A = this chain, B = another copy of it.
Amino acid sequence: MPKRENISMSVIRRLPRYYRFLTHLKEKGVTRISSTELSVKLGLTASQIRQDLNCFGGFGQQGYGYIVDQLCDEIGNILGLSNRYKTILIGAGNLGRAIATHMQFEEEGFELIGIFDSSPSKTGTRINGKIVMDTTELEDFCEKEKPVMAILCIPREGVHSILERLYSLGVRNFWNFSHYDISMRYEDTVVENVHLNDSLMTLCYRISNPNNK
């Protein structure tokens, strides 16, 4: 589908924001929008928006603008949101539970099919209707269900060993919340890190250095 190969990550990371905003417009009943209007609302330049969208094709109409509904669908397709990538969650602590309970996986290309924890205090309990399994069941489960993505919500100590097991079970994609950088260990993996602590430290810097930018 992409017009050109190798879209830059800078562009990709703006797409969900466009999608989110367009969805919101759609709900409000707005049918048409121009790159200039979008740029004002999103705090970007119109040029950037047009160029971003043109990486994937011409979705607008000259002299008219973009049809909200259509553009929203196009971006959703580019992102691949209609997929249902089978996903498992490792770690049913506070963070894992928050994610399992309130992320709308089905609207974002995924399906949560299993939750695992190593602590007997967690296994057997239910989260959002799903029973938390013991990590000893990981092999059996994965061989049967073939999940392609794993969410890591465990302390850093446990990550290395879990990662080896998941990799050998065919899992190649990871959404990682641990204080641990998975990247580079294997060539054929996709890792999306969410480092909340890093984010907080960045905020601390910005508060401490108000003159910066």
Contact A192/B179 with A94-B102, A95-B98, A198-B16 known, Cβ cut-off 8 Å = no
Give per-residue flags for A185-212: 1 if the beta carbon is below 8 A from chain B beta carbons, else 0: 0000010101111111111111111111
Alpha-carbon distance A200/B99, docked complex (angstroms):
11
Question: A63 — which chain B residues lie within 8 A by C-beta?
Answer: none
Q: At the interface, yes or no: A97 with Cβ under 8 Å from chain B?
A: yes
**A-B contact sample (7 more), CB < 8 A, given A6-B212, A108-B204:** A7-B209, A17-B181, A80-B204, A80-B207, A85-B207, A149-B203, A173-B207
Q: Are B16 and A197 in contact (CB under 8 A)?
A: yes
Alpha-carbon distance A144/B178, docked complex (angstroms):
36
Alpha-carbon distance A210/B173, docked complex (angstroms):
11
Question: A108 — which chain B residues lie within 8 A by C-beta?
Answer: 197, 200-201, 204
Q: Which range contains the number of A residues in contact with the other chain?
A: 35 or more
Q: Are A80 and B208 in contact (CB under 8 A)?
A: yes
Q: List A residues at the B interface (Cβ < 8 Å).
A: 2, 5-7, 9, 12-13, 15-17, 19-20, 42-43, 78-81, 83, 85, 93-95, 97-99, 101-105, 108-110, 148-149, 173, 175, 179, 181, 183-184, 190, 192, 194-213
